[in-house]
Amino acid sequence: MVTDIEKRIAELKYQQNAVILAHNYQLPEVQQIADFVGDSLGLSRKAAETDADVIVFCGVYFMAETASILCPDKKVIIPDEKAGCPMVEMSPVESLRQLKEEHPDAVVVTYVNSSAEMKALSDYCCTSANAVEVVNSIMPGREIIFVPDQYLGSYVQEQTGRDLVLHRGYCPTHARILREDIERLRDQHPGAEVMVHPECRPGVRDLADYVESTSGMCRRARESDAADMIVGTEMGLVYRLRRENPQKRFHIVSEAAVCPNMKRIDLEKVLWSLEEVQYEVKVPEETRKRALTAVQRMVEAVRT
């Protein structure tokens, strides 16, 4: 049954020619009213393709910034301006400037979980879905700085054989997923397939059957013959997995794998953002222009 608040959101969307984009980690109620639900790469592509005048970005702040970089002629709003990202906060732009000074000939690959200023200093952006492809596209022998996620960077090193200069950032939510969590669930669900996010610690990835981005997990869930699947990422993804695959059982690795910033947005905030057309996210034009090439390379990279 459609609620009054959902009806009002739909009316305002139509009136303002708006589109609602929601990340896989958003609350179920927000995923339900979104026009598109996906990972960072999918959301960036949808932002770049949309004919809407207004983009309501239900995610964290750097995602809305990325949409602003790609769509300078559109109004990008985020329902909660305080929805930040700890990995971004532990990765000041000065740290990348220092790495570039220490490695002046290096190519810079920056994970999308970063500020617009970090992207502006980069040669390539990537997401967890295409980081390996992006690094593989760089000429062999070139030194590569990979920022800010040390765990995704170590995974890319394993998959490509490239020796990367890594930053010390990480995702606290994925860092809370432990080997013991997977071992416990495997004992409880013999035969279950284990898939974890590449932002997890190396020891956790070693226990997985598959290391996937959230879009990769959705695809794997559709294709797998397993009746039980153990999911090592932020628990918001499980709602989508269960909705799309009702015949399967999904077990979140850890109840501690919750990103509080991803949960800041609810239906009331989506409604308020459309009523007031707030809070707008606008990347300064000079920064946007310098970041655009790196972000476009991410959006145009080979799909995984």
Q: Tell me the average pLDDT across 139-147.
A: 97
Q: Where in the sequence is the domain holding 237, given as residue range(s)? A: 177-252
DSSP H or E run through 230: strand 228-232
pLDDT at 40 over 70: yes
Which range, of 213-222, 229-238, 259-268, 295-304, averages the lowest pLDDT?
A: 295-304
pLDDT tens, 6-38? 999 999 999 999 999 999 999 999 999 999 999
pLDDT at 1 over 80: no
147 closest CA partner among 88, 192, 69, 213: 88
Q: Is residue 228 part of a domain?
A: yes
Q: Is residue 209 part of a domain?
A: yes
Specify whether 157 is located in the same domain as 205. no
Specify whether 293 is located in the same domain as 166. yes
Q: Is residue 139 part of a domain?
A: yes
Specify whether 11 is located in the same domain as 160. no
Specify whether 49 is located in the same domain as 105. no
Q: Is residue 294 part of a domain?
A: yes
Average per-residue pLDDT in the chain? 96
Q: Is residue 189 part of a domain?
A: yes
Specify whether 116 is located in the same domain as 165. yes
pLDDT tens, 63-107? 999 999 999 999 999 999 999 999 999 999 999 999 999 999 999
Q: What is the per-residue DSSP string for 67-96?
A: HHHH-TTSEEE-S-TT---HHHHTS-HHHH
Specify whether 97 is located in the same domain as 166. yes
Specify whether 117 is located in the same domain as 165. yes
High-pLDDT (> 70) share of the chain, %: 99
Q: What pLDDT was estimated at residue 302?
A: 47
* Number of alpha carbons in the 13 Å side-chain half-sphere of residue 167: 29
Q: Is residue 242 part of a domain?
A: yes
Distance CA 251, CA 271 (A): 32
Question: Which pLDDT band holds residue 304 (cuts at 50, 70, 90)?
Answer: very low
CA 87 to chain centre: 12
Specify whether 155 is located in the same domain as 294. yes
Specify whether 34 is located in the same domain as 95. no
Q: What pLDDT was estimated at residue 303?
A: 40
Q: What pLDDT was estimated at residue 41?
A: 83
Count of structural domains within the chain: 3
Q: Is residue 217 part of a domain?
A: yes
Give the CATH number of the domain where residue 26 resides: 3.40.50.10800
pLDDT tens, 174-226? 999 999 999 999 999 999 999 999 999 999 999 999 999 999 999 999 999 99
The runs of H, that is alpha helices, within the chain are 4-16, 28-33, 40-49, 61-70, 86-89, 93-102, 116-120, 131-136, 150-160, 172-175, 179-188, 202-205, 214-223, 236-244, 267-276, 285-300
Q: Is residue 257 part of a domain?
A: no
High-pLDDT (> 90) share of the chain, %: 94
Q: At what angle do helices 285-300 and 40-49 cross, to 10 degrees?
A: 110
Structure pTM? 0.94
